[in-house]
Structure 1
C-alpha cells in the first residue's frame, strides 16, 4: 500500500544516542546525597560511641563505690568521686564546697533536681543520723547518675 510518492520521502534520521556525561541533575543530586551520607554516617557512629563511652565512664564513677561501706564512708567516697571528676574538668570552686552549699551546687546544674534525695551528701558526712536504707542509697545513686548524665561528667 505504499505509493511511489511515499517511497520517495526521506526517512527522518534517528536521534543521536543519549550521552552518559553529563548526567541529569537528579543523578548529580543523588550522588551528592550518597557522598554526604558516606561521610555523615561514620561521623555520627563515632559520636555515638564516644557518648556511650563517656556515659559508661560516668556510671563507673558511681558504681565503683562499694555498697558494703558504712553510710558515712560510702557518702564520703561518692563525694570524693564527684569532686575528683569536677576537679579534672577544671571546676576547682566546686571541690571546696561542703554541706548545704555542695547540695545547692549539685541542684543548680540540672533540671528538676531532687534535693531531698541529695541531702545525705551534704549533711550525712558531718552529722550522725539515721542510717540510709538500701532504697535511699539506690535513689541517691540514680539521682547522681542523672546529674552526671546532664552535666556530661
Structure 2
C-alpha cells in the first residue's frame, strides 16, 4: 500500500448555488454596520450642573465668610493695638497708672461717646469700667486708679493688677454682661 491510499478520498465540493430572487432582494436591502456617533461633552448631564452649582455656592459662601471675618478684624483692630500699648507700659515707672488710664479713656471714648465717659474720674470712672465689661475690677487695680493716678507714686503690684485688668477690659468691653447693656450711639457705635 502506498501512502496515498491510506488517506481518505476527498469528495469534490458541490458548486455554489445562486440565491433565489427573494434572497437577492433581501440581500440588496442590507447596509454596512454603522457605529454610533461619539458622545459629546457638551451639554453636560444634570449631575454636573448640580455639582457646578454646589461648587459655586461654596465659593460664594467662603468669600462672604472671609469678607465678614476681615471686617470684624478691622472693627476690632483698635482692641489689639490698645492691648499691645498696655502690655508695653513699664509698670515700675511713676507714670504707668496715668498711661494705662489714658489708653483706657481713649478706648472708652472711641467705643462709647465722649459725653458718656470722657469726663469720668475716680469712683464714677471705675463703675463705668465695671459696667462696660463682664469682668470684675480687682481691688488693687481700683486702688491704683483712685490713689496713684494723681499722686505720682509707684506700687508695682497694684500697677500690674491695673495693667492686667486694663488689657482684659480692652479685649472684653462692650460684650453682654448681667449688669449692663451696650451703650448705643457712641462715637464708634459700630464697634
Large movers: runs of 4+ above 6 Å: 13-16, 127-130
The alignment of Structure 1 onto Structure 2 pairs a total of residues equal to: 143
Deviation string for 1:79-133 (max 9, x for gaps)?
1222133334462131211111111110011113234243134312357989342
> What per-residue deviation string (whole Å, max 9, x for no partner) do you get for residues 11-61 of structure 1?
xx9699475325425313322234224523642563465367444312133
Unaligned runs of 5+ in 2: 1-34, 175-190
TM-score by length of structure 2 reads 0.55
The 5 Å alignment of 1:1-153 reads 17=39, 20-25=42-47, 26-40=50-64, 42-43=66-67, 46-47=70-71, 49-50=73-74, 53-70=77-94, 73-89=95-111, 91-92=113-114, 93-124=116-147, 125=149, 131-133=155-157, 136-151=158-173
Normalised to the residue count of structure 1, the TM-score between the two structures is 0.65
- Counterparts of 2:101 and 2:125, CA distance in 1: 9
Higher Cα Rg, which structure: 2
Change (3 A) 1:40 1:105: same
Consecutive unaligned residues in structure 1, runs of 5 or more:
1-12
Which structure shows the higher helix fraction?
Answer: 1
